[in-house]
Amino acid sequence: MKPSSTATGDRPARHFGAFALLGVLALCPMAVLAEDAPNLLTDPFYLALGTYIVETDTDVRLDGESGQGTNVDWEKTFGSGDVTRFRFDGQWRFADRHKVRFMWFDSSRDASRTLEEDIEWGDETFPVSARVKSEFSFAVYELAYEYAFLRRDNYEVSGSFGLHYTELDLELSAKAESSGGTLDADIRESGSVGAPLPVIGLRGLWALPYNFWIDAQAQYFALSIDEYDGSLTDLRLMVNWQPKTWLGIGIGYNQFTVDVDVEKNSFDGSLDWTYEGPMIFYSASF
């Protein structure tokens, strides 16, 4: 199966502008924090829970035993449907320069559409005019270690190494009674894959006045081993206001891309999928 994302012409400029803004903000003087305000550069624990207004571009293909399946533009064919998505981040600073970080992102959606063309999906054929229900579930888990190789009173820059585990489930189903006579019986076909991908990255954390913080992160890795051959990119820029231990809010922008070819019994195909968009979150630091 092959989800793929298409880049737009203004993305490089948008990313350059974001990091240029980050560079300017990094030159701001040290934040004058209230005495009872948390300090994200020294607090042992940090937690954040948020959701996205996200755009996805997905071109999917699920191969069957008889050969290559149909490339499906998921958003064009089925629309966005009912969507749920959230992201949880947690970190433990167990020494001045050392942290362990965990992330969990989950996104799922389902929709029903009448097909305008045949779809070869795994070992089933979904014919034109059939009423097809699509179910899409995507989850990413990350566990990483960070070391701050550059550390000052108002900022730190860290290198990281970790493991992303990407879990994908896709299913198409159609009932004969709602497909206008195009089917003799109900059909259902699904594919699922779990892809472990190591990542390396850089992360910067800057303290700004009035308990504001800038958090920028870039991660990448390419891998070819056993049943997996692919790469992962994760870019994130966040602004966090943390005036109290249990009172923090933030906004940011995240782009995540995973591109992997898989040959397994439960999934034979490829995943090339991107989500990107603004995020709002609640945070605590203690």
Q: Quick check: is 15 in a domain?
A: yes
CA distance 135 to 239: 33
Q: Quick check: is 6 in a domain?
A: no
Q: Quick check: is 1 in a domain?
A: no
pTM above 0.85, yes or no: no
Each residue of 85-129: pLDDT tens digit? 889 999 999 999 999 999 999 988 899 999 989 998 888 899 999
* Residue 230: strand pairing partners: 223, 260
Each residue of 128-175: pLDDT tens digit? 999 999 998 989 899 999 999 999 999 999 999 999 888 889 899 999
Q: Quick check: is 5 in a domain?
A: no
CA–centroid distance for 120 within its chain: 27
Q: Quick check: is 2 in a domain?
A: no
**Contact yes or no for 243/207 (Cβ under 8 A):** no
Q: Quick check: is 210 in a domain?
A: yes
Helix segments in the chain, DSSP class H? 11-26, 74-78
Range of the domain at 151: 11-285
Rg, the chain, Cα only: 22
Q: Quick check: is 23 in a domain?
A: yes
Each residue of 32-74: pLDDT tens digit? 444 578 999 999 999 999 987 767 777 777 887 767 788 888 8
CA–centroid distance for 134 within its chain: 20
Q: Quick check: is 73 in a domain?
A: yes
The CATH number given to whatever domain includes residue 133 is: 2.40.128.100
Indicate the number of domains in the chain: 1
